[in-house]
Structure 1
């Protein structure tokens, strides 16, 4: 069954998160996803607050840029989230936007090496292992969490390039695909992910696939989606975005699901006039149609 979620865009002010999260929780939305885009809002702070304000809603964080954090700090933060809120936290890590990493003096010479070392150490720490490693970027000396989450949570990773996607399959427990990914591109991305899973002997394990999908509804939906096309520089919105009523959006979600997405996260436009209304619309009008397919 396909899970439906919605992004809380960090272009909205942080103080707006509470009303959107509560609306999503009360409406029965499955997942609300957050971004840690520079230099907007802190992802872990936002996730902890959203989880504390809600009772059933799962809160995804996709993704944390690994150049910004020591892996031990990341492990402590994630362990705290998972112990406090159980299985409601869903967290992914990734390279981050290299231009932003350069702005803060954190751009690595080898993003692939950093992500590989970070994923390996982070998964081991979250599993409660004592970790000693002397890598190119990750260096730990007998580090073990005093309060590891039980059980160890799934760790997502986000990527776009073939090598990074293979690494996601090899070293993560699920993959996050960016907005602007068409069903055809999902299938191609999962081919690289599958190669990584096979290389690590994990091809028979479950592997969630999360994809963001541009979406708009209501008055001026098509015009707002067109502004998104211009903002991101897409040649067309065909198969990467959808504007319309619940049935139209559910039909598009089905195409992403058929290509391999297990979770489709609707990405509203930053100028959506009613973010709270959008999460209610997704939960009460779109999600039932998705479930019925």
Structure 2
């Protein structure tokens, strides 16, 4: 049953790394012009830099929140990440949402950075990163994170929200414990999001931010195009992943994700979307009013 008292989710656009970096400016400004709340950029190996993409998107827009989903911690020294996030937050206060996570383990292997215990690394890293962003002087000698009397000269006040990504039960427990919110992988069903939402409520209580992504298409062959796209992201068509259809159909799916616990719903285009500007306008001008109303 729908929770009619639940507030409407934040609505955003996923700038997926299958899109060339030079397309970011047009899509970021279109997202803001369409009245969507957020833009989420990715850092996937070996495609695009999350920090570089977020910096550019923040500079090209004026009010849009920009999330980084997510920075793979094995690739990044925690002091460097703290410096970069602090700089962005001070330059664009209140508009950055930071995100960190394990990274794809095969990619970490390729770069020689794969950790024997990703959970231990993420715990050590998140704890140190949060302390650095809070302006603390940090000395730590962990299994993976070592810092000796490190403090930022320009810590942000307040620091940006620090979201954690995860999928398995132990990772999700960690995101609930240490994160200001949880980032979910793409290509999940409403039922899968509801399972995560229930777990987070048990662990953290109500109100823990949860960001879910939904693959969306409209126009001719919309659901067929969505079904073809979800296979790219490891899901099977016909199992409730993604939505194709008109504004009412898409808005109903977004409300279902919100009822499942998602506080932000991020729209992801199909790779063969012929008119991204029109698609963004459709989301902002037709779908968003139905969700918010």
Scaled by the length of structure 2, the TM-score of the pair is 0.94
Select the residue among 133, 156, 169 that pairs with 2:163: 156
Q: Are 1:4 and 1:287, in contact at CA under 8 Å, matched by a contact in 2?
A: yes
Distance 1:180 1:229 in 2: 6
Select the residue among 21, 25, 32 that pairs with 1:18: 25
Q: Are 1:166 and 1:195, in contact at CA under 8 Å, matched by a contact in 2?
A: no
Q: After TM superposition, give the deviation of residue 237 of structure 1 in Å.
A: 4.0
Distance 2:246 2:147 in 1: 52
Q: Secondary structure of 2:70's match?
A: strand
Q: Work out whether 1:97 is the aligned partner of 2:100.
A: no
Q: Are 2:235 and 2:241, in contact at CA under 8 Å, matched by a contact in 1?
A: no
Which 5+ residue runs of structure 2 have no aligned equivalent? 1-7
Distance 1:237 1:36 in 2: 29
Q: Are 1:213 and 1:266, in contact at CA under 8 Å, matched by a contact in 2?
A: yes
Following superposition of structure 1 onto structure 2, how do residues 1-293 of structure 1 map, counting pairs within 5 Å? 1-197=8-204, 203=205, 206-292=207-293
Which 5+ residue runs of structure 1 have no aligned equivalent? 198-202
Q: How many residues align?
A: 286
Computed over aligned residues only, the root mean square deviation of the Cα atoms, in angstroms, reads 1.4
Q: After TM superposition, give the deviation of residue 240 of structure 1 in Å.
A: 2.1
Distance 2:16 2:190 in 1: 23
Q: Are 2:230 and 2:241, in contact at CA under 8 Å, matched by a contact in 1?
A: no
Q: After TM superposition, give the deviation of residue 232 of structure 1 in Å.
A: 3.0
Q: After TM superposition, give the deviation of residue 229 of structure 1 in Å.
A: 2.8
Distance 2:177 2:223 in 1: 39
Q: After TM superposition, give the deviation of residue 123 of structure 1 in Å.
A: 0.7
Scaled by the length of structure 1, the TM-score of the pair is 0.94
